[in-house]
Structure 1
Amino acid sequence: MDYFPLFCQLKGRACLLVGAGEVAERKARLLLDAGAALTVVALEFTPQFQQWAAEGQLQQVAGEFSADLLDDKWLVIAATDNESLNQQVSQAAEQRRIFCNLVDAPQNASFIMPSIIDRSPLMIAVSSGGNAPVLARLMRERLEAMLPLHLGKLAELAGSLRQRVKQHYSNASTRRRWWEKLFNHQRLAQSLANNDAQQSTDFIEQLFAQPIEDQGEVVLVGAGPGDASLLTLKALQQIQLADVVVYDRLVSDEVLNMVRRDAERIFVGKRAGDHCVPQSQINQILLEQAQRGKRVVRLKGGDPFIFGRGGEELEVLAAAGIGFSVVPGITAASGCAAYSGIPLTHRDYAQSVRFVTGHAKQDGELDWSCLAQDKQTLVFYMGLSQAAEIQRQLSDHGLALTTPVALVENGTSVRQRVVTGELAQLGQLATQVKSPSLIIIGGVVGLRKKLNWFASYPQAD
């Protein structure tokens, strides 16, 4: 360990900043945010420093640095473009045993400034020991994107509950499990993010009232259309917290590779030679796992509320009193269309878009006369086996046989293929692709040759 990681309490404590340029501004912001009593010495000051001084946030000293300015200071930062002056500051601080940071010279500094993720009171610092500051910044940006903004509120809430939890649970392991439930409680997190104090209080009381082992819940998570990079941040967080992941065949291997390694995985989809797990059995699996106190993620391809039967599963959970929440996903229509260069709506070609399940019965259940209207885009999910019937019905109800169509196989993945043609060819085109495939019908498909910005994917026409 090259540096000892340490968080300093600087509120109200005297600190010195030498230099008042743009780099010094960044250091000053951090010190002011920490509540330091800041003195800045420089020959010239940027407008920002002048504004801070006018607002009484810091004290300016116009002139050369002198060692007596270090008297009674807790720490000092040398942030000038004069290397000799920075070294002078460092030596004076060393003699007085005051921690000193030198901008762009970490090897000569007694402390370094890390990259910071601020979720006060939760603070996370990332440092490369001054060797690779850009790498540290990139790591900070990735962590910043992964960590919800409400974490600070959650940390404050935890602080207010510590004594109560200690009194309520005498056993240390039980307390730890209770805290895990608190920090992983998705509905509580949402109520904190929404500043809903009453709902947050209700969830806390429920956690105290229920036995620890009976507090399982289910999170419906949309896995997106295939490309793992299309997972939402919230979806990624949930699959990495799960005890059990129940998934179907439309969830890509790339997404499954991001699931927590020690989580139990239960496949409920259909594979070659296997029968599809009945929906009633899937419902029972979710129910039983949650009743065992497990945190269950029901991982569905695309969005769980668009032809994913997510609503049916939640009805069963609600009837049994099992807690649940939903994380939307990028639906296949949006993902496949975007990766194929097909806008789902366009002012000149389509003023509306309709999502249609191809599993509908062929006895008139669909309103084909409405579907055959012009100036709209139709997206058929699971319609490959019904492609010829879709072609016939739309044609019989007035949609021109020259209407452009596209079939997108393995959409958004590196295996994506796109076959295009006209409505008159739909039945025949469907024999050229394999499931899972999406059917897109409408004038917007004709824009693909112009707008296919994902041409790097292996696609066929």
Structure 2
Amino acid sequence: MSHYPMFADLGGRAVLLAGAGQVAERKAESLMRAGAAVRVVADALSPQFQSWLAEGRITWLGGAFQEDFLNEVFLAVAATDDEALNRRIFQAAEARGKFCNVVDTADLCSYIVPAVIDRSPIKIAVSSGGTAPVLARKWRQIIEMLVPLHTGRMAEIAGRWRGRVKAATPDIGARRHFWEKLFDSRFSTLAAQGDTAAAEAELAAQLAGYQPHQGEVVLVGAGPGDAGLLTVHALQAVQAADVVFYDALVSDEIMAVVRKDAEKISVGKRAGCHHVQQEETNRLLVEYAQAGKRVVRLKGGDPFVFGRGGEEAQVLRRAGIPYRIVPGVTAALGATAYAGIPLTHRDCAQSALFVTGHSKHDGEQPDWRTLALSNQTLVVYMGTLRASVIAEKLIEYGRSPDTPVAVISNGTLPHQSVQTGRLQDLPALAERAPRPALMVIGEVAALRDELKWFGEAA
């Protein structure tokens, strides 16, 4: 991040604006809306600037820029068509430690102005760091459609009641839960209708009858790694959590969208590495939920596909803990799609099987005869350490040694890698592959060269 995001309080502060054309008019309007005392330097004033001057809304310093003008201002904006003058203003501002923005000249800006969604007092800023302002404006338009017009009215009411809510609910977690519940309730409808009195009455009624939040657990599928594959429900859950228990397979990109002040506890499991025992994870989920916390159990892929989500849900059910399941994109779907390998294809694979490379120590052996059938795709999770056994058994039970295979590492992430070969090569491919890795066995793996679209070999 090359720019530090912040909102400046310009109320009553002097701002120097160089220029008085159409671009400068837009800058002046936004500055005056923020309460700035605008001081204009320009040879001539447009009719709009003349009107503002007559109304006493701006101060005109004349046409000649003087460096001393910067001494008593908070920041400066250069919006003239004279490149040399703009540069001179920027350099003078730099010498005096003043913020300066030269319109449409990124290298002459010590601050940039983002595209803004204004639902005062709620404001949302979108910035490209000066690299692509048109793209930032495009996303502002998209986000603006999602933010109700009455959002500002709700914020104004909440501001008036903030002290009383704090006094009634001194616990910060309980207070946050109260506001979250309120903003999703009839209070929002009343604010949208413009009935401020009724909205405040609804707030008062909910505060009077508020009960501390009951703890719950949400088992959330984080998908294979790319944060763009998170579902809306998954995103909402991790941004509302008090505590997040996360696996080793959850990417840094996904952890970055977890609510910043949530407690984050690693309970990762990875073959060959020290990890938290499942029984301890189960105990922690129950303990935190019984303490009234909103708990998220964040798992790579899908909670119910080799994620032990079923075991955890059983524990929660027995303990009487409310829980929800948020499905995720399992690796067999996400990683293969990003690798350009379809799981089924009319010409060569009419079915797909998902299997794990290991089970409980007393687990039965797989049905190798079924796994070795042709015209199907076999996707093996957590199997790289047993690749030799898997290849040997599949060949023994009838699968051709020349069956195409692929080993996908870090699927859907920028550093994804895919190795392809034949079934007889699987042990060597698995040995070389970065972990975690997913093994794909079947004729569809041969389609990667034709269909690859993502990653280093695309």
- Shift in Å, 1:327: 2.1
Q: Given the superposition, is the C-alpha separation of residues 331 and 345 from structure 1 closer, same or farther in structure 2, using an over 3 Å criterion?
A: same
Structure 2 CA distance, aligned partners of 1:266 and 1:125?
Answer: 30
Match of 1:445? 445
Separation in structure 2 between the aligned mates of residue 383 and residue 127 of structure 1, nearest angstrom: 43
User: Which residue identity does 1:265 align to in structure 2?
Assistant: K
| Partners of 2:425 and 2:243 in 1: CA distance | 44
1:240 aligns to what SS in structure 2?
Answer: helix
Task: For residue 329 of structure 1, give the secondary structure of its aligned residue in structure 2.
Answer: coil
Q: Which of 224-233 and 309-318 deviates more?
A: 224-233
Match of 2:14 in 1: none
Q: Name the amino acid aligned to 1:319.
A: R
Residues 176, 435 of structure 1: alpha-carbon distance in 2 compared, 3 angstrom cutoff: closer
**Partner residue, 2:168:** 172
SS in 2 for 1:258: coil
Q: What do residues 321-355 of structure 1 show as CA deviations (whole Å, max 9, x unaligned)?
A: 22222222221111211121111111212122111
Contact 1:115–1:136 (CA under 8 A) maintained in structure 2: no
CA distance in 2 between counterparts of 1:150 and 1:325 reads 27
CA distance in 1, matches of 2:454, 2:412: 9
**Amino acid in structure 2 at the alignment position of 1:181:** H
Q: What is the Cα deviation at residue 316 of structure 1?
A: 1.3
- 2:218, 2:296 within 8 Å by CA — same for their partners in 1? yes
Q: Which runs of 5+ in 1 are unaligned?
A: 5-86, 96-106, 108-113, 159-166, 193-205
Q: Which residue does 2:332 correspond to in 1?
A: 333
Contact 1:268 1:276 in 2 (8 A): yes
Alpha-carbon distance, 1:271 to partner = 6.7
Distance 1:183 1:311 in 2: 32
Equivalent-residue separation in structure 1 for 2:332 and 2:141 (angstroms): 30
Change (3 A) 1:409 1:176: closer
**Equivalent in the alignment of 1:143:** 143
**Contact 1:303–1:330 (CA under 8 A) maintained in structure 2:** yes
Q: Which residue is equivalent to 2:355?
A: 356
Q: Give the Cα separation in 1 of the matches to 2:230 and 2:374.
A: 34
Whole-angstrom distance in 1 between the partners of 2:255 and 2:354? 26
Task: Provide the residue aligned with 1:426 in structure 2.
Answer: 426
Aligned to 1:417: 417
What is the CA–CA distance in structure 1 between the aligned matches of 2:264 and 2:386, rounded to whole Å? 32
Q: CA deviation at 1:124?
A: 7.7
Q: What is residue 241 of structure 2 aligned with on the other side? A: 242
Return closer, same or farther for 1:260/1:178 CA change in 2, 3 Å cut-off. Answer: closer
Number of residues of Structure 1 aligned to a counterpart in Structure 2: 346
**Residue identity opposite 1:246 in structure 2:** F
Q: Which moved more, 1:319-328 or 1:357-366?
A: 357-366
Does structure 1 conserve the Cα–Cα contact (< 8 Å) formed by 2:388 and 2:426?
Answer: yes
AA matched with 1:401? P
Which amino acid counterpart does residue 335 of structure 1 have in structure 2?
G
Code of the residue aligned with 1:365 in structure 2: it is Q
Q: Is the 8 A contact 1:117 1:143 kept in 2?
A: no
Does the CA contact (< 8 Å) of 2:247 and 2:266 recur in 1? Answer: yes
Change (3 A) 1:244 1:208: farther
1:223 aligned partner, one-letter code: A
Residue 405 of structure 2 contacts residue 439 of structure 2 at CA under 8 Å; is this kept in 1? yes
Deviation per CA, 1:361-395, whole angstroms, max 9, x where unpaired?
A: 79753222222222211110001111112112222
Please tell me whether the aligned partners of residues 227 and 413 of structure 1 are also in contact (alpha carbons under 8 angstroms).
yes
SS in structure 2 at match of 1:138:
helix
Q: Deviations over 1:390-439 (max 9, x none)?
A: 11222222222211100111222222221111112222322222321100
- Corresponding residue for 1:385? 385
CA distance in 2, matches of 1:289, 1:176: 16
The change in CA–CA distance for 1:378 and 1:216 in structure 2 (over 3 A counts) is same
Contact preservation (8 Å) 1:290, 1:322: yes
In the alignment, structure 1 residue 267 sits paired with structure 2 residue 266: yes
Q: Secondary structure at the match of 2:240?
A: coil
Task: Using the aligned pairs only, state the percent identity.
Answer: 50
Q: Is the 8 A contact 2:241 2:295 kept in 1?
A: yes
RMSD: 4.8
Q: How does 1:38-437 map to 2 (within 5 A)?
A: 134=134, 137-141=137-141, 143=143, 171-173=167-169, 180-181=176-177, 184=180, 211-212=211-212, 215-270=214-269, 275-360=274-359, 365-437=365-437
Using the size of structure 1 for normalisation, the TM-score is 0.59
